[in-house]
Amino acid sequence: MPIYTPPTRDMAFLLHDLMQVETSDIPGYDELDPAFTSAVLAEAGKLAAEVLQPLNAVGDREGCTLENGVVRTPAGFKDAFDQLREGGWTGLDCDPEFGGQGMPHLLGSATGEMFVAANMAFNMYQGLTHGAYSAIFAHGTEAQKAKWLPRLVTCEWTGTMNLTEPHSGTDLGLMRTKAEPQDDGSYKITGTKIFISAGDHDMADNIVHLVLAKIPGGPEGVKGISLFIVPKIMVDDDGKLGAANAVSVGALEHKMGIHGNATCVMNYDGATGYLLGEKHKGMRAMFTMMNEARLGVGVQGLGIAEVAYQNAVAYARERLQGRAVTGAENPDGPADPLIVHPDIRRSLMRQKSFVEGARALTFWAAQLIDRAQRMGDDDAEGMVSLLIPVIKGVQTDRGFDVTVEAQQVFGGHGYIEDNGMSQFARDARIAMIYEGANGIQALDLVGRKLAQDGGKHVMAFFDMVKDFIKDNEGNEDLKAGFLEPLKSASKDLQAAAMYFMQSAAKRPNDALAGAYDFMHLFGHVAIGLMWARMARAAMDKLAAGPDDAAFYETKIATGRYYMAREIPATAMLRARIESGADPVMALDAAAF
Amino acid sequence: MPIYTPPTRDMAFLLHDLMQVETSDIPGYDELDPAFTSAVLAEAGKLAAEVLQPLNAVGDREGCTLENGVVRTPAGFKDAFDQLREGGWTGLDCDPEFGGQGMPHLLGSATGEMFVAANMAFNMYQGLTHGAYSAIFAHGTEAQKAKWLPRLVTCEWTGTMNLTEPHSGTDLGLMRTKAEPQDDGSYKITGTKIFISAGDHDMADNIVHLVLAKIPGGPEGVKGISLFIVPKIMVDDDGKLGAANAVSVGALEHKMGIHGNATCVMNYDGATGYLLGEKHKGMRAMFTMMNEARLGVGVQGLGIAEVAYQNAVAYARERLQGRAVTGAENPDGPADPLIVHPDIRRSLMRQKSFVEGARALTFWAAQLIDRAQRMGDDDAEGMVSLLIPVIKGVQTDRGFDVTVEAQQVFGGHGYIEDNGMSQFARDARIAMIYEGANGIQALDLVGRKLAQDGGKHVMAFFDMVKDFIKDNEGNEDLKAGFLEPLKSASKDLQAAAMYFMQSAAKRPNDALAGAYDFMHLFGHVAIGLMWARMARAAMDKLAAGPDDAAFYETKIATGRYYMAREIPATAMLRARIESGADPVMALDAAAF
């Protein structure tokens, strides 16, 4: 069975050595002293490693079943969900007014990473619920909030998001689901939604579906979409459960991975729904939750990469095969462990440097969300909006790559299902697709976020890189290994952005054809900045002569690897982008 | 159900426009005129598309079963195997003395690509048999050849390769399977082998296992390994089947993909085996088949990428989603097809340019094998030995990537199993692992092949690139788009090779830490050379005013894409390599 050790030491480094959260001016952060965060992270880690992780393979093997309209989750899921609930984890960063614990989103992201790493399919049940909570919290009336939120916070009821229809995925304007107004102010919802994660199951008393639909007579396309609350079971004004609503599960999808999550075809046959937010403003309501939701998927890329990496390391230490070229390192054994081999090291360093860099980037984004939500800081909101498509796209692309590389360390033993490495790759694959496929993230970045507020946020990002380099230019330890590669990478990013700006009016396809590479280029600079900051923080700690010097030395060496071997990709990505759209668009559609 | 159109037009271009095989001096190539090759390829394509491909999803879904020691293949496999046999495909490039058709290996690779693309798991049954044929053909006594080959050629009997043991994969020296000499000259084989593809099944009368084992008292490690023929059912001197041998299937493996192939744990309990080749020279015997076997796996990477790409194109043409930024291209429909979007084009061009480049490289390698085998040409043997690890490593890595990219074009519809895109990715994944994991290919390239025969072959490769550039430097159409990027990429490759040479003695880890990137760097230059040659051939054809000018224009445009957007990776790979082993080896094993 795969192992999982919660990366709480690394999280503590980020929170306290790098970000020094307890001294932040964000309301609530003053409570985040090391003793408190370590207690929370340790508890979450324990639940993840001891309860959720052992169920991961079970979920994959058994999957969910649909019989007579009833969906059942794999053995053990219900008990584990009860433990998650009882520990208060489902409402960790929810509003205390509705029963939440009011913790920062930052802490929710940290615990979320561990839950995902331990059991991604399982954690989606609470993840979707959190999304529904956020939507109702942001757009519900006081009565709606009072009615629905408390039991979403506790996960007594879980939530779903219903966007996709068979012919309508990325292009939601094509949606056909109808919402017909009723005399009592409610709506009758009719239509079919597909790919509905956690669409039905046996772990909660009710399911609160958030459904996008069109009110007849409204505007065409995405401007005519409204958002509705559609419960599985009707709830009266006292909160008591009543009759079943006209909602049913048409089928369970058979998927490449996340078998433990019930991905449903949902049929709404005149089901009763309640408008959430304004009429025809459903897309806007979805967008306000998007940063959180997409960060959550970026966390999936990170979390599953972490657990895959941990298992690759364990296998590389234990599997004896071949001898180090520089002389036997296990002379008394029949062979040396895999980890002596430079090509295995290459793979492990690639994995490790991604995971730790992505975690730093995730924590930064979560902190920006807290700053935006708790302080109404528009600059933080703008910066995180810029970073989110990068985090979602890059962390899920590279997160999947890491699972594949970790699987490769196992050789043939990674291809058979017994060791769990295949499941990591199969599960990780979905994160590149849902919550906006990564191509859409790239378009969001280049088509929307770059120019947002007059390009203010991307300029602020560039300034941040420039300032860091300037502030540290006297630091000889950082200079060659960190500052110079970062500077060069940032120059590539700026040049690419400039290229897009110059061709935007005349040749819009240039930016669209280069968007995907730009997203990854941005990711390298963002993760590179994280590594430079982490190296600086580690050097500062080392100067103080800490007990665990090895931890900080490892941190710096891992960063050096990233700067030497990963960040040089920026020049290639820039070259691709600057080749323009012509090589990409040259063929007639018929010529493929 | 996925589609598959045999790429016979592209194959004809390679065979006749690019390679002009019918005028080659290789014995047997004079028969390969366009009418003949097109007839063969069309027939193979028909079998692939009409018989094998419809069984691909069946094989994935049903898998193989083991009951009371009997392995059953999925429904329809046996009939299809009969058709493969009856068409004479299994012996296409086998020696006529033993019932083969005596065709060049080149033609076997071309038909093999189609069989793989249509049904990789199915085609492995004949692929392994071909490997066993080659081993016995190369190392058997006349009596052994007469006894075993004719029925391997027809696939009345199939073959297997038994190398791996639970604790012994890449490091075969750790092997424990024993071969004890008997008075009659045979051996008793005892041990357990794992991951044995096509290890047992119900489609042939007998199975001829080739088993590596140690004769007690022989040299330690790989120098004490011998190769044995171990039939499932004993065969008397007249070729009649007798009693069962002491061989049994311990279990079937549950794998990420290739479910239609029976991957077995094989138990040998004092089974009767016959020495093949010399005592203790089993590894050498395996090595002589390695080029062919590894090329075959490279063909798997290519074939499955081709079929995944074809399905991505079909979906991109048909799925309506969003509008082209430059104006609606399907104004009467509800939306434009995906293929109008530059980011989808980027993905499709990436796929297409890989597949066609890899096919050219594969055909070149197959031709070199023919030249080596049919003419005893040592230079051809040396060149193909150099190319093989590149082909195996790069084509399976990138082939897998292509399946993932093709799957991504489908969005959520690619993640559910119904559309077959998940299967392509899951099946393609194994090719990166077996027949020497790709890290081993990289080590073979850098540690063995580069310096082989005093570096003669790599120098010949560099000369080939240089000569092509020189011979075409007056060609303005080729210059900026092809020759300059090729020159720059080749310079990166030479610099990296030089870097390894200079550090080899003092710092062997530099080469080992850079080997993987070097393999991919080499792949880019080799595929780049193929694209430059193909562009030149297409330009020559266009000058003659052909009927299908669009085909040749597409070829050139696809090549331009590769040179503009893919080959710039060489600078990054060189930078990584030249950063040396330090960033990779800096950590203690305990620090991961």
pLDDT at A290 over 90: no
pLDDT at B445 over 90: yes
The alpha carbon dihedral of B472, B477, B480, B486 has a sign of negative
**Chain B: residue nearest A61 by CA?**
B254
Q: Establish whether B473 is a catalytic residue.
A: no
pLDDT, mean of residues B440-446: 97
Average pLDDT of every residue of chain A: 97
**Chain A: residue nearest B321 by CA?**
A171
pLDDT at B288 over 80: no
Query: Can you give the pLDDT at residue B455?
Result: 95
Query: Can you give the pLDDT at residue B504?
Result: 80
Query: Can you give the pLDDT at residue A418?
Result: 96
Average pLDDT of every residue of chain B: 97
Pick from B257, B437, B572: which is nearest to A411 by CB?
Answer: B437
| Residue A234 near residue A205 (C-beta atoms within 8 A) | no
A1 falls in which pLDDT band (50, 70, 90)? confident
Residues A11-33: pLDDT tens digits? 999 999 999 999 999 999 999 99
The residues, any chain, with a CB within 8 Å of residue A206's CB and separated by 6 or more, are A151, A156, A157, A231, A232, A233, A235, A241
Residues B86-105: pLDDT tens digits? 999 999 999 999 999 999 99
A571/B576 CB distance under 8 A: no
Query: With b meaning 16 or more CB within 10 Å and e meaning fewer, what string describes A323-348?
Result: bbeeeeeeeeeebbbbbbbbbbbbbb
What angle do helix axes B508-543 and B378-409 make, rounded to 10 degrees?
80
Query: Can you give the pLDDT at residue B391?
Result: 98
Query: Can you give the pLDDT at residue B550?
Result: 97
Task: Count the Cβ atoms, other than its own, within 10 Å of residue A543.
Answer: 9
Chain center to CA of B240: 35
Cα–Cα distance between B444 and B505 in angstroms, integer? 17
Query: Can you give the pLDDT at residue B463?
Result: 98
Cα–Cα distance between B446 and B498 in angstroms, integer? 12
List B residues 421-440 in contact with A (Cβ-Cβ < 8 A).
422, 425-426, 429-430, 432-434, 437-439
Query: Can you give the pLDDT at residue B12?
Result: 98
pLDDT at B453 over 90: yes
Amino acid at the residue B581: A
Cβ of residue B564 closer than 8 Å to a chain A Cβ: yes
pLDDT at A154 over 80: yes
User: In 3D, which of B109, B115, B108 has the Cα closest to residue B50?
Assistant: B115
Distance from the A439 Cα atom to the nearest Cα atom in chain B, whole angstroms: 7
Cβ of residue B265 closer than 8 Å to a chain A Cβ: no
B322/A171 CB distance under 8 A: yes
Superfamily of A289-436 according to CATH: Butyryl-CoA Dehydrogenase, subunit A, domain 3 (1.20.140.10)
pLDDT, mean of residues A177-195: 98
pLDDT at A474 over 90: yes
Cβ of residue B109 closer than 8 Å to a chain A Cβ: no
Residue ranges covered by each domain of chain B: 285-443, 451-583
> Percent of chain B at pLDDT above 70?
100
Helix (H), strand (E), coil (C) string for B91-153: HCCCCHHHCCCCCCHHHHHHHHHHHHHHCHHHHHHHHHHHHHHHHHHHHCCHHHHHHHHHHHH
pLDDT, mean of residues B517-523: 98
* Rounded (10°) CA dihedral B331, B334, B339, B342: 80
In A, which residues are within 8 Å of B214 by CB distance?
Answer: none
Domain B285-443 sits in CATH 3.40.630.30: no
A8-287 shares its CATH topology with A289-436: no
List A residues 225-254 in contact with B (Cβ-Cβ < 8 A).
253-254
In B, which residues are within 8 Å of A586 by CB distance?
Answer: 557, 560-561
pLDDT at B137 over 90: yes
A519 falls in which pLDDT band (50, 70, 90)? very high
pLDDT at B395 over 90: yes
Query: Can you give the pLDDT at residue A289?
Result: 82
Cβ of residue B313 closer than 8 Å to a chain A Cβ: yes
| Residue B583 near residue A561 (C-beta atoms within 8 A) | yes
pLDDT at B168 over 90: yes
The alpha carbon dihedral of B448, B453, B455, B460 has a sign of negative
What ipTM was assigned to the predicted interfaces of this complex? 0.98
pLDDT at B62 over 80: yes
A168 falls in which pLDDT band (50, 70, 90)? very high
B346/A513 CB distance under 8 A: yes
pLDDT at A464 over 80: yes
Cβ of residue B76 closer than 8 Å to a chain A Cβ: no
Out of 3.30.428.10, 2.40.110.20, 3.40.30.10, 1.10.260.40, which CATH number does the structure's domain A8-287 have? 2.40.110.20
pLDDT at A288 over 80: no
B545 falls in which pLDDT band (50, 70, 90)? very high
| Residue A144 near residue A276 (C-beta atoms within 8 A) | yes
In B, which residues are within 8 Å of A172 by CB distance?
Answer: none
